[in-house]
Structure 1
Amino acid sequence: MPAKIIVAATPPDAAADAVALAVDLARARGASLLVAGVAVVPMMADREVFARAQRGAMERELSLLVPHDTDGVEAGIAVVVSRSITRGLHSLAEREHADLLVMGPTHRGTIERVFQGDLILSTLHGSTCPIAVAPAGYADRTSEDRPMMGVAIDGGEESDAVLDAAVTLAEQMGASLRIVHVAETPIGYAVPPWLDAAGSARYLEAVRAEGNAVLQRAEEKVDGRVPVSTKLLSGLPGEELARFGSEVDLLVMGSRAYGTVGRVIVGSTAGRVLHDAPCAVLVLPQTVLSEVPALT
């Protein structure tokens, strides 16, 4: 079955950036493109009546978002009627057997995200396919001859699957790949309080040594499939990876990397990177990673 990418035209002011990223990824992967909109049914409204009233107008709006020049990428539109945007996108992705869902930036501040919810993270929860998020202004960018991709790994059980997915995408896009690892050393409380200055220095040195070993193993597993480099960072993973986004065009990461809490729910690291990184970000949910074979 040919690969299929769904691009969410929600919110409308971010649709152009999402479509531009989706076209780039579809072109590289030989995938078709489906520009989708979700008509949210009011709680007391009849679904069928609402659908008939909304579908025509939404289809006309979506047709305006389909780019005229897609360089051979097959593109269509889809309207989903649902009780929420998240449910609608999930059901459409499952129905179409989508390989990727692309979304635009939400343009929300921290306080607004707390009170109104976070569309990107709520869609990431329970997603059956990877989710890519375009940064603001992506539609206005010009492409480079050889784009730079990044992949964040923590050395955990998901790292090989994340790395393999990133290498495969880099091959398809003709991109160089930079593997990044964050040695978790938050200022103030990373070092156990019972250590003295000398012990603290040894502790931090050990953390960095472990990080370098993680990067070396990852570079060896790439085995020359794409041009590769590595980078070790220190600090809070969310902050450091978001900052690292200025060095790459696309950053690939798992949704549960870094920290105990992040392995239970989609953690703060993924949320911080998705909202603060200046590059496009592709997040691989754990349900997807379990199906990706590890590099050997």
Structure 2
Amino acid sequence: MTSPVVVGVDGGASGKDALLLGRWAADTLDEPLIVAVVHPAPSAIGSGRVDAEWVADRHRAAEAVLEGARTVLKDLPGEVEYRSVASSSAAHGLHDLAEEVQAEAIVVGSGRTAPKQRLFAGSTAERLLAGSHCPIAVAPSEMPASPGGKGRIGVAYVDTPDGRAALDEAAKLARRTGAKLRLYTVVADRESTLPWLVGDDAEHAFLDTARETYEESLTRAAAAVDGVEVDWQLLEGKVSAALAELDEVDVLVCGSRGYGPARRVLLGGVSTRLVRGARVPVVVVPRSG
């Protein structure tokens, strides 16, 4: 049974980035590609004629978006299925389609540049992060026409359930593609801490302990991955900014929740900030538990 890669587009500039990432992901994973646009479904309550005319207009807009997607992908190899989905929201429609086809992943753009006529308001990428049952891949702005080629999968790792889920997903992807795996953890640099609040010596001792703890955690995690060449790197700075600057991996896999027991070292909300500013595609693994 196949597990297609589903790409959600809405006519915005980031749709091209999502299409290029989706095409690459489907080819890399040897899975089918489905390009989908979600348009509003008829309202259960409302003026019948007005509602029908509005829905028909939105359906025509959705078909125009699909035609634009065909133009982007026309010169790229591989078969593509195009679908128009009626739903109450873009995220809901993509969720339903992904469950129907048992998708390998949903791919969307970062949404930093919205189309002039939006089919739905709000960020589809961020809403998808709230409840998807499959990984969400978010394409950065200005994706190259031929993504990949670095042969390395990155994973933002902390020894928590979500961090371990991200590592498992990244390891599966590395095994399927033959890529190497690199684990990243971020600790605050000394300039980002608060010695004026707790004292310079106490803060430095805390950071040294945190660094040792995370180095041990990374070493154990790397040793536990089978069938993949693994290394790790400890970064310094603000977690989302440090991870967003990475450019030596094909994709960066992360969990969907906040990171770590030490909140000043690895703050929550990382995945949301990361998908807005990362230089490489980000794959967010579904929430565990």
TM category (shorter chain) comes to 0.7 to 0.9
| Paired position in structure 1 for 2:253 | 252
| Paired position in structure 2 for 1:281 | 282
Question: Offset of 1:161 from its aligned partner?
Answer: 2.3
| Paired position in structure 1 for 2:180 | 176
Structure 1 position 62 matched with structure 2 position 66? yes
Please give the alpha-carbon distance, in whole angstroms, between the structure 2 residues aligned to 1:84 and 1:186. Answer: 44
Alignment map for 1:143-182 (pairs within 5 Å): 143-144=148-149, 146-182=150-186
Alignment map for 1:87-236 (pairs within 5 Å): 87-108=92-113, 117-141=122-146, 143-144=148-149, 146-184=150-188, 187-189=191-193, 193-194=197-198, 196-223=199-226, 225-236=227-238
Describe the superposition over 1:175-209 as per-residue Cα deviations: whole angstroms up to 9, x where unpaired: 22211011256845456933x43333222111100
Contact 1:261 1:267 in 2 (8 A): no
Letter in 2 for 1:157: P
Structure 1 position 237 matched with structure 2 position 246? no
| Paired position in structure 1 for 2:8 | 8
More deviation, 60-69/91-100: 60-69
Question: Offset of 1:157 from its aligned partner?
Answer: 2.4
Please give the alpha-carbon distance, in whole angstroms, between the structure 1 residues aligned to 2:169 and 2:210. Answer: 26
**Matched residues, number:** 274
Contact 1:152 1:252 in 2 (8 A): yes
Identity over aligned residues, as a percent? 30
Task: Could you tell me which runs of 5 or more consecutive residues in structure 2 were left unpaired when the two chains were aligned.
Answer: 115-120
Assess, with a 3 A threshold, how the Cα gap between structure 1 residues 64 and 121 changes in structure 2: closer, same or farther.
closer
Assess, with a 3 A threshold, how the Cα gap between structure 1 residues 231 and 76 changes in structure 2: closer, same or farther.
same
TM-score (norm 2): 0.82
Letter in 2 for 1:36: A
Question: Offset of 1:54 from its aligned partner?
Answer: 4.9
Task: Could you tell me which runs of 5 or more consecutive residues in structure 1 were left unpaired when the two chains were aligned.
Answer: 110-115, 291-296
Question: Offset of 1:118 from its aligned partner?
Answer: 2.9
Alignment map for 1:72-83 (pairs within 5 Å): 73-83=78-88
Contact 1:252 1:283 in 2 (8 A): yes
Question: Offset of 1:173 from its aligned partner?
Answer: 2.2
Please give the alpha-carbon distance, in whole angstroms, between the structure 2 residues aligned to 1:8 and 1:28. Answer: 18
TM-score (norm 1): 0.80
Letter in 2 for 1:151: V
Please give the alpha-carbon distance, in whole angstroms, between the structure 2 residues aligned to 1:86 and 1:45. Answer: 25
Please give the alpha-carbon distance, in whole angstroms, between the structure 1 residues aligned to 2:148 and 2:170. Answer: 19
